[in-house]
Each structure stands twice: as structure tokens, then as C-alpha cells.
Amino acid sequence: MELRQLRYFVTVAEELHFGKAALRLHMTQPPLSQTIQALEEELGAALFERNRRGVTLSPAGTALLPEARRLLAHAQELPQLVQRAAGGEVGRLTLAFVSSADYSVLPPFLRAYRAAYPQVQITLQEATSDLQLDDLLHNRIDAGLLIPPLPDKAKEQLDYLPVLNEPLVLALPAGLPALKKKGKLTLSALPPLPLIIFPRVISPALHDAILSVFRDAGITPQIGQEAIQMQTIVSLVSAGIGMALVPQSVSNLMRTGVEYRALADATPLVETGLAWRRDNASPVLHGFLDLLRNELRKSALC
């Protein structure tokens, strides 16, 4: 069955006259009649009842008419659909992110992207940097907001764009005497609280950066508890189990029993960036990358 046959059928069904339908289609009547007969033979049923008074739709033709119109309408939409897909305006984007990004860059970027590409379906996955790298290398996600550096093996297949640099801040149980002092705090002014931190395998660079702050202050912290997600780390601080050093954006996670304070001690900057497969030619992904770069340029100008 061809779309041309359906278009001829719909025209005859609307005119209920082969001569008028042929004029409307800019053709002669014999080939139009032959096309309708061929369609009826293909479908195994008469679509029109022909008599001396004229032409009427048969029950089979009445059933076919709305479906034929629907198929023709969808066919007319196909070029626009293909063009939108080629331009990254429709499709699916699978984006992973570290938990700290949920309190910093992720919400504004998603708002901007949804406004620009409302018909793209976004699948979000919270995951640690090590899991994101594995998912990227195995084509399970399109892109990931993670904490670098990328391993040398991953650099062979992935591209990377820095998105955010921020300092580490203290997350402390509320009510500590040291918190009565306003402003920045030094590690030496704090009681020897256990350190709550994530396992090193999740993000070796950030883990080492946190411990380097204590080392530079001449302090060897006691690891009191390990937790994977920043939300869990902050919850453990809230429970009074210990203290933590977290990226500054995590301080947007307000939790009863936790006070965030800046450090007077020198702290390294924590970088968050976007990684994606270099060979991923998805128009949806590249639309996201273009928007992200534009948003970063605008924020740099502010």
C-alpha cells in the first residue's frame, strides 16, 4: 500500500465522484479508477458502492477513511519531525550527576535546557564519578557531571568541559562552642571530631584534597564514618557523629543540626565538569553542550 493510493482514496471519499476527484488531483479519471480498484484488491474489500445514482462509501471504506486521513497527516509531519531530530530538538538525553551538582549547577542548567528544548526527554541518574566514567565508557549514558580528573584510559575516549570551581567548607554539628565565634574557622580551633568522608575509590582526587587540608594544618583526622552521598554525609553531621569538609555548594542543603562555615585554612578548589564520549554524534547531546557553553559564557560575563 502506498500513500498515493490513500490520498486518492480520501479525495474520492470526500467528493463521492470520480470525475470531480480526478480534477482535484489534476489527473484523468481512468488511472484514478484503476488505482482505487488496485487498492480494493490489495485490501480484499470494496471501498465504494457504485450505482447509477453515484458513488457512496462502503462499510469498509467508512472504516478506512479516518485511518487513511490519520496516516496522511502523520506522513506530512515526518519532514518536520526529522528536521527537529536532526537539530537536537526531539529525542532523549541521559545525564548522570554527582550529588554536589544537585545543589549547584544542575538545576539552573536543566531549567535553561528545558526552556530551549521542551520536547527532549531527559533521564537523570545520580551517580558517583567512578560509576559515571564506567557508564560513559560503556555507552550507558550520554554525559555526566562529575569530579575530575579523568583516568588516562578514559581521556582517550572522553571529552571534558570544566563547569564549576568552588572551595571546601566545614559542615559541623550545631552547638559546638567554637561556632560562637563569627566568621571563618581554623581546623586547629575545633575539637578533635571524627571526620565523615566518602570512600576514596569514588573520587580519589577530592578525597585526597580533603585530607590535604588537615595535613597542611598539622592534623591527622580520625575517620569516623564513610558515606557515599553528600546528603548522607550531611545527615551524619546532623546526628552529631562527626564533621565533614564538603564543596561549598553543598551548603545549599539545609539540614537541622548542621552549620556550615568557611575555613580560614587554605583549601584547594573542587572542580565539577561535564564528560561525554568523543564519538557520540547525538544531535540532542550536542544541543545540550552548545547550551551549556552559552550558559557558562553568560555567567562569566556577570
What are the cell numbers at 34?
Answer: 484503476
Q: Are residues 286 and 218 in the same domain?
A: no
Burial call 80-112: b when 16+ CB within 10 Å, e when fewer: eeeebeeebbbbebbbbbbbbbbbbbbeebeee
Cα pseudo-dihedral 178, 184, 187, 190, rounded to 10: 0
Q: Are residues 279 and 159 in the same domain?
A: yes
The whole-number pLDDT of residue 245 equals 96
Q: Are residues 181 and 224 in the same domain?
A: yes
CATH number at residue 109: 3.40.190.10
Report the distance separating Cα 207 and Cα 59, nearest Å: 74
What are the cell numbers at 187?
Answer: 581546623
pLDDT of 291 above 70: yes
- Per residue in 104-117, pLDDT tens? 999 999 999 999 99
**Beta carbons of 205 and 272 less than 8 angstroms apart:** no
For 4, list phi and psi in degrees, rounded to 5: -60, -40
Report the distance separating Cα 277 and Cα 94, nearest Å: 12
CATH number at residue 8: 1.10.10.10
Q: Are residues 254 and 176 in the same domain?
A: yes
Burial call 188-225: b when 16+ CB within 10 Å, e when fewer: eebeebebbbbeeebbeebbebbbebeeebebebeeeb
Among 72, 87, 102, where does a domain finish? 87
pLDDT of 188 above 60: yes
pLDDT of 302 above 60: no
Q: Are residues 282 and 226 in the same domain?
A: no
pLDDT of 120 above 60: yes
pLDDT of 180 above 90: no
Q: Are residues 173 and 231 in the same domain?
A: yes
The whole-number pLDDT of residue 211 equals 95
Burial call 115-134: b when 16+ CB within 10 Å, e when fewer: eebeebeeeeebbbbbbbbe
- Per residue in 229-259, pLDDT tens? 999 999 999 999 999 999 999 999 999 999 9
How many CB atoms lie under 10 A from the CB of residue 46? 16
What are the cell numbers at 203?
Answer: 573520587
Q: Are residues 123 and 196 in the same domain?
A: no
How would you list the strands of the sheet with 258-261, edge to edge? 244-247, 168-173, 258-261
Domain that holds residue 277: 91-164+271-300
The whole-number pLDDT of residue 88 equals 64
The whole-number pLDDT of residue 77 equals 74
Q: Are residues 181 and 63 in the same domain?
A: no
Report the distance separating Cα 244 and Cα 111, nearest Å: 30
Q: Are residues 147 and 275 in the same domain?
A: yes
Domains contained in the chain, number: 3
What are the cell numbers at 300?
Answer: 562569566
Among 61, 87, 113, where does a domain finish? 87
Among 87, 120, 154, where does a domain finish? 87
pLDDT of 83 above 70: no
Q: Please provide the average confidence, as pLDDT, over all residues in the chain.
A: 91
pLDDT of 81 above 70: no
Q: Are residues 207 and 238 in the same domain?
A: yes
**Beta carbons of 261 and 144 less than 8 angstroms apart:** no
Report the distance separating Cα 302 and Cα 300, nearest Å: 6
pTM over 0.85: no
What are the cell numbers at 132?
Answer: 559515571
Q: Are residues 252 and 213 in the same domain?
A: yes
Q: Are residues 66 and 133 in the same domain?
A: no
